[in-house]
Chain A
Amino acid sequence: MRVLDVVKAIAQGLATTFRHLPDRVTTQYPDEPVRLERRFRGQHILHVDENGREKCVACFLCAIACPADAIYIEAAEDLRPYPERIGVDIRYARVYDIDYGKCIFCGFCEEACPKDAITMGPNFELAWYTREDMIKHKEDLLITRQRVSPHLEIAP
């Protein structure tokens, strides 16, 4: 009897729905922190090494890997010895801009990076009032400058 099969299927489906009804899914953001998985892809973080030197050597690989063409880099030279200079190498990114109006958070930049200098961070609050504000500079993205939003917690 096909009618019975249909009724059975609906009943089964609704049973699952009703079973989860008491669960609290809604997070009271921003009063409560949002719980994110570790692999969550939010705003990028530019890393520094243990001595605070920027890891990025401005190789432009993230820029070419980016399918949205959101990354713009200008490289420069810093010939000072390691303790004084900005980056780990004499080549560093003088300008490192990511346009969050373009970025699609695919994470290709992270995979392209040969120096583990860029990773996708947890910050997800990426809304601004102007297009200019959507372009984030190196100074906004560096791990030493970027604050993790108080509105999130990372799943263990």
Chain B
Amino acid sequence: METVKVIINGKEVEAPKGKLLLEVCFDAGFPIPNFCYYKDLPPQAACRMCLVRIEKMGRLQTACTMRVSEGMVVTTESEEIRRARMAMVDFILANHPLDCPVCDKGGECELQWMAMNYGDLLARFDEQKDATGEYPLSPFIWLDPQRCILCYRCIRVCDEWVENHALGVRGRGAHSVIVGNRPDGTLACEHCGNCVEVCPVGALTSTNFRFRARPWDIRDTVTTCTYCSDGCQLRLSVRDGRVVRAWAKDLTKMDAEFANKVLFSFRTAPETRHNWINEEFLCLKGRYGNEFVNSPDRLRVPLLRRNGRLEPATWEEALKYVAQRILEIKRTYGPESIACIGSPRLTNEDLYVLAKFGRQVLETPHVTHAMDVDWRPFFKRLTVPLLTQPELREQMPTILLIGGNPPEYNPLTAYSLRAAVHRHGARLYIVSARPIGRLQVATRFFHIRPGSEPAVWLALLDEGEVERAAEATLLTREELYELRRFVWEADRLALLVGREVTGPALEAAAVLGGMLQAKGERIVRVLPLLRFNNSLGALDMGLVAEMLVPEQVGPQIKALYLMGCDLVRFYGDAWRQALARAELVVAHELFLTRTAELAHVVLPAMSFAELDGTFTNNAGQVQRIRRALGVAGDWRPDWMIIDQIAAKMGADLGCRHSAANIFREIAETIPGYQGITYARLNEEGAIQTERPLMPLEVIDRARLLERLRAQVEAIDHTAERLQEPAPLGIGLFEPGTLTEHVPLLRQAFGWDVRESVEVSR
């Protein structure tokens, strides 16, 4: 990269040519005050706080729009600049209310910091301020236009990060107001709240955090999101034993003194690195969906079925009962009569202990987890490494997405796709049965017949099949050839595989990368868009047996050990009768779910905010979750419950009372996890596991093509294209087992959630 020499305050600095002067100054240790500049967003030059003197230029220049060039001589501190900044602060404060005591931002407000450091003691404007009240823009976001300093960060974030284009400005000059995209000025968007996070003042505030805490009396814990498989990192802020917000702001990009002294003076150690895979992005669920942990509906004591009713019991009673009944059933019907079903939401530690319990103590082959799509053939035949989000954003000039709807189901992936296009002009091709909203940055969009994704894979794998594929997908032959060229001529290719891709097509997705790499020097990475936060971890931990069908329960399966797995909700009402047929149903749950209601024993488990552990995201990256909350109920970690039951059955699972010890064992036994420790995870953030790759020669490609062809034949060739894009919120606004216990989401989307059943006391 071409570099230039610039002199900043007499210090010679080398910087890449064309980099923003403000960034160069920041890196050189001369932070420049600013409001409207934000990393990765197009420069705006709205606030004029970053004025600097550049030699041979007539006026003071804005550092946030100036790009460095050879021989630039810059002064960032002088009497002239001090006075200019003072005037700018005065100007910004002209209509800013003095309501810091009631403003949510007070204490972490960039304007407060600027006014204290660069402002004058007294304001020179004595005109009446233009007072307006606060009002909600959406159920999640409030606006106080008087506090707004018109830096346009929110608008740019909405356009660039999430492509909602939901915010704009109405009016001119001093009367400019930020408005939403509905005619009445409210917001029709996915309510991700990223605009709230980047707001330098308290103009945009979150409904859930409003008035609940001040920045100095909350404690932050960095943890991993518990929703989709992308695995965003977030800080959970806790006040008084309750989660009050989740946020992901990059504090290292702020003025170090502000970030460390002000934002962290009341909290933990200052953050020196922000190597999060999601940078600063969070989606609706990640930001507003964590308050289920505060829910009063949480199970707090073990429940035991006595005389047909679930009644509170002590742990001792419950554990003893479970151990005794399992032993009885094992003795009477044999070990195959017991099934362990985990949930892809639990930590690796919990799932590992469950698998070990099932195999070693129960000796049953039925150790599995609730899967929506069977990804096992994909990971078995994987020929290229998995794609991480930073790689997707920074290193992949050609990206192909087949199936899936990332903005709804994998919002971070959607963010990374947009970032790849914005940052280095990546070419993004999308093949989908439905137009995807909020991915308009795509270079090409191939609209195929619903369910015909396998035909696209067939055409990509074998040129001779283009004709057949064209017929199945409703694409023209030229379009399919274009897709083939795109894939086969790319140097660095990212393949994103959506959940519509199933069966042999999934295997094809796993194999194609290897075939491309075998053809020449190139790098191919593949990203499966799994559904749950630990879907991949559950596979890794060995919960891989075939999922049971409800008919098996009764004749074959007598006992079900369910860990956080709501079968009735997930697989439908057929499981109601199945559970009634079982002789023993044990459920670990946070809430009394439809499945737990039918269980014989319900054991209250801990949520992700109360646990230590790890999740493995869809790129195979292991990330920590950390305990943010104290104990508010008589609940225990899932692994501990199993360990105690095993102890009652006379077995030792070797948990040794801590998740760290279990993870040590995971690192020793599970392939790919070698060398990963909690200490390393704390240090490095996300660590990608090494997946065993299948050599291309081993794979019977002719047979695979044959099966793929059969799959293509089975496609309904009469189906028409779906013209309507999937509605906004098809994934994000749907109630789930956890989100339906978040009051804010329930109110906002009017979910008609079944009332929890009264437990007899």
Contacts and interface: CB of A to CB of B under 8 A. Distances in A.
> Do A and B form a real pair?
yes
A90 B134 CA distance: 10
A59 B216 contact: no
Contacts of A90: 102, 133-134
B45 to A, nearest CB: 34
A118 to B, nearest CB: 12
Contacts of B680: none
A106 to B, nearest CB: 19
B101 A76 contact: no
Contact of B102 (A59, A63, A74): A59
B747 to A, nearest CB: 14
B16 interface: no
Interface residues of B, number: 15
Interface in A68-107: 74-77, 89-91
B125 to A, nearest CB: 21
B217 A64 contact: yes
A67 interface: no
A142 interface: no
Interface in A5-63: 57-61, 63
A64 to B, nearest CB: 5
B216 A64 contact: yes
Given A59-B101, A115-B101, A76 B211 contact: yes
B101 A61 contact: yes
Contacts of A76: 211
Contacts of A75: 211-212
Contact of B214 (A64, A77, A89, A115): A64
A114 B216 contact: no
A136 B638 CA distance: 41
A58 B102 CA distance: 7
Contacts, number: 35
B168 to A, nearest CB: 26
A57 B102 CA distance: 6
B210 A77 contact: yes
Given A75-B212, A77-B210, A91-B211, A59 B217 contact: no
A58 B101 CA distance: 8
Interface residues of A, number: 16
A100 B636 CA distance: 36
Contacts of A57: 101-102
Of B106, B133, B214, chain A has the most CB atoms within 10 Å of the CB of B214
Given A89-B102, A90-B134, A115-B101, A58 B217 contact: no
Contacts of B216: 60, 64
A105 B73 CA distance: 57
Interface in B106-142: 106, 133-134
Nearest to B98: A114
A146 to B, nearest CB: 23
DSSP class of B's interface residues: helix, strand, loop or mixed? loop
B508 to A, nearest CB: 55
B106 A59 contact: yes
Nearest to A58: B211
A70 B133 CA distance: 33
B211 A77 contact: yes
Contacts of A89: 99, 102
Contacts of B210: 77
A91 B217 contact: no
Contacts of A58: 102, 211
Contacts of A114: 100-101
Interface string A113-124: 011000000000
A77 B208 CA distance: 12
Nearest to A94: B211
Nearest to B106: A59
Contacts of B106: 59
Contacts of B102: 57-59, 89-91
Interface string B213-228: 1101100000000000
B214 A60 contact: yes
Nearest to B214: A60
A73 to B, nearest CB: 9
B133 to A, nearest CB: 8
Contacts of B212: 74-75
A59 B134 contact: no
B515 to A, nearest CB: 60
B146 to A, nearest CB: 13
A74 B241 CA distance: 13
Nearest to A88: B102
A114 B574 CA distance: 62
A106 B342 CA distance: 56
Contacts of A63: 217
A4 B100 CA distance: 67
A137 to B, nearest CB: 16
A77 B266 CA distance: 25
Nearest to B142: A77
A75 B266 CA distance: 20
Interface string B126-162: 0000000110000000000000000000000000000
A124 to B, nearest CB: 29
A77 B207 CA distance: 11
Contacts of A74: 212
Interface string B190-224: 00000000000000000000111110110000000
B144 to A, nearest CB: 11
Nearest to B266: A64
Of A58, A74, A76, A91, chain B has the most CB atoms within 10 Å of the CB of A91
A5 B28 CA distance: 72
B657 to A, nearest CB: 32
A90 B212 CA distance: 13
B279 to A, nearest CB: 31
Contacts of A115: 101
A90 B142 CA distance: 14
A13 to B, nearest CB: 51
A60 B217 contact: yes
Contacts of B133: 90
A61 B102 CA distance: 10
Given A59-B214, A64-B214, 19 more contacts: A57-B101, A57-B102, A58-B211, A59-B100, A59-B102, A59-B106, A60-B216, A61-B101, A63-B217, A64-B216, A74-B212, A75-B211, A75-B212, A76-B211, A89-B102, A90-B133, A90-B134, A91-B102, A114-B101
27 contacts: A57-B102, A58-B211, A59-B100, A59-B101, A59-B102, A59-B106, A59-B214, A60-B213, A60-B214, A60-B217, A63-B217, A64-B216, A64-B217, A64-B266, A75-B211, A75-B212, A76-B211, A77-B210, A77-B211, A89-B102, A90-B102, A90-B133, A90-B134, A91-B102, A114-B100, A114-B101, A115-B101
Lowest 10 A-B CB distances belong to which pairs? A59-B101, A75-B211, A91-B102, A60-B214, A57-B102, A114-B101, A57-B101, A89-B102, A91-B211, A64-B216
Interface of B: 99-102, 106, 133-134, 210-214, 216-217, 266
